[in-house]
Every structure is written in C-alpha cells, then in structure tokens.
Structure 1
Amino acid sequence: MLQQLESVKSRWGGKSQVVDRWLMDRQALLVSFCELAGINKQSESLPDADEIANFCSALLDYLSAGHFEVFDILVEDDDEGLDLKDKLYPKLTKTTDAALAFNDTFAQAVTPEQAAGFDAALAQLGETLEERFALEDELIAHVHTNKRDPEVTL
C-alpha cells in the first residue's frame, strides 16, 4: 500500500493542495496501520488500547474527510463525473462500512474474545483499505485527467 501511495504521490502530487493534503493523511494512516500491525516488530502481543484507539480515530478522520470534504471536490456533476460517482460511491461506501465495523469493535477497550480475532480483523481491514485507496486513486486520476485543479484547502 505504501508503494502504491508513493506512485500516486509521484504522479499527481504537487498539482492540488486538496489532493496533496489527502495523500499526506493517507500516508499517516498507513504508517499508523503498519505500527498497529506490528510490521517490522517481533512482538506477538496485542497493541495497547491507546494505540488501537488512536488508529481508529485517525481512520475515522480519514474516512470522514473523504466522504464529507474531498469526494465532491474531485468529481463534478457533469455526465462523466456522475457516471464515476454511480460506479465508485457504492464501492467506497462498502469500504467505509467495513472500516466502521472495525472501529466499532476495537476502538473501545478490547475484550479477550475480541483480542483473539484482532490480527485477522486488522488483516481484513488492510485489504479493505487497499481496495478503498485504489477507488480513491480513480477519483484523483479523474480530476487531473479532466484538468480540473481543486484548490480548496481542507
């Protein structure tokens, strides 16, 4: 996911403050995800509750920014934009629902029963985020392909 992000940043970065800010937020979310997943760590213990809560908070902030601030800036209501919305928004909503379910399960104190399924749930969330980022990248490509430059600061 980080390599995909670097590719998107190198292709579209610097062309829009909105997109640049959003990609920076995505990068911070991915770094937090990797830390939570224990990538490059050799510990088999569950992350502490504060780490999980902080990640969930960052996840919700990222999702909210997409749905309530960025998506409508990236896609206008022209025929092509409306077609893209019809195609992508249901898929984006599905990824949002999956991420919200993760948050609802793990944002508060994790019970021993939940802890047993944490790694599998986090792995599934990683797949969901990868799918979501690919969909978001289609929105970014659309705005730049159509030579629109959203300069709204989030």
Structure 2
Amino acid sequence: MYTRVQQAQQKYGGSLKAIDSWLQERRELIVSYCRLAGLPPFEKDRHTMPSQDKIKEFCQLLMDYLSAGHFEVYEQIVAQCAVNGTNSRKLADSLYPKIAVSTDLALEFNDKYAEHLSTRNSGSFDLELSALGQAMEERFALEDKLIDTLHAKHVSTTTTA
C-alpha cells in the first residue's frame, strides 16, 4: 500500500493541489494503519492491543481521508467529466459503488472503535482492522483509476488551453 501511494505521488504530484493533499492524507493513513496493525516497521507492538488514543487517531485520519475524497477529489472528477466527455463519467459512475463498499466498512469501524474499545469488541478488533485494510487497499486501486482519469483530462485541458 505504501509503495503504491509513493508511486501515485510521483506520477500525479504537482498536477492538482487537491490530489496532492489527498495522496498525502492517504500516506498518513497508511502509516497509521501499519502502526495500529503492528506491520513493519511497527511490528514490535504486534502482540499488544493498541491504545485508545492510537485507535482514535487512526479513525480521525480515516474519516478525514474519506471526506476529502468525497467532497474534494470526486467533485473535481465529476466536474472534469462534464467538460471532457462521457467516457470519464462512465468510469466514475462504475467505480463509485465499489468505492462506497469500503466507505461503509470504514464508517462501521469508526463507529465501533473510535470512541471506546470495549472488551466486548476487542476480540474482533484485529479481524475487523485486517478486513478494513484489505478494503482500503482495493479502494486505493479504484481511486487511482479516478485520479488517473482526472490527471489525464486536467493535463490535456491545461496544455491545450
């Protein structure tokens, strides 16, 4: 996941401020996820339950990332689709329901764990965090397709204008 966001930042960096900010938020989210999950280079904490503060911090980054995507980047993609043709709009329309699946999963995770990790929920935390990680990885791949479309249309319209 982290390598993919670095590649996206290299490929799309500097083209649109919204994309740059969003990819930086994605990078921060991935680092926070790896820390929470005890993945390298944070594996030393793998066998301990993360603190509520770390969980809350991750959930806040997750909600910020989802909001930025929905209210900033997706809106720009839709606007560019209106200007640059229906093929881009069809792509966005086909990908959005798939992206929404991970949004629902992320919202459920946030609702369940952001404010209080009860002993009742702690047994399922690792499984749900893993499922969220997989869903987010799929989401990032879908979002990269949207970013690629926006980047291609933005670059072509700004260089021909």
Q: Which has the higher contact order (CA 8 A, sep 6+)?
A: 1
Q: How does the TM-score come out when normalised to structure 1?
A: 0.90
* Match of residue 5 from structure 2: 5
Q: How does the TM-score come out when normalised to structure 2?
A: 0.87
| Residue pairs, 1:4-43, within 5 angstroms | 4-39=4-39, 40-43=42-45
1:18-37 Cα deviation digits (max 9, x unpaired): 11111111101111111111
Query: What residue identity is the alignment partner of 2:19?
Result: V
* Match of residue 56 from structure 1: 59
Q: How many residues align?
A: 151
Between Structure 1 and Structure 2, which shows a larger proportion of helix residues?
2
Gaps of 5+ in 1: none
Query: What residue identity is the alignment partner of 1:41?
Result: E
Say yes or no: does 1:103 pair with 2:105.
no
Query: What residue identity is the alignment partner of 1:57?
Result: Q
Q: Hey, what's the Cα distance between the residues in 2 that align with 1:146 and 1:125? A: 31
Say yes or no: does 1:128 pair with 2:135.
yes
Q: Hey, what's the Cα distance between the residues in 2 that align with 1:149 and 1:122? A: 39
* Match of residue 73 from structure 1: 76
Gaps of 5+ in 2: none
Given that residues 15 and 155 in structure 2 are in contact (C-alpha distance below 8 angstroms), is that contact kept between their aligned partners in structure 1? no
Point out 4+ residue stretches in structure 1 off by more than 6 angstroms.
none
Q: Give the secondary-structure state (helix, strand or coil) at the position aligned to 1:15.
A: coil
The alignment yields a C-alpha RMSD, in angstroms, of 1.8
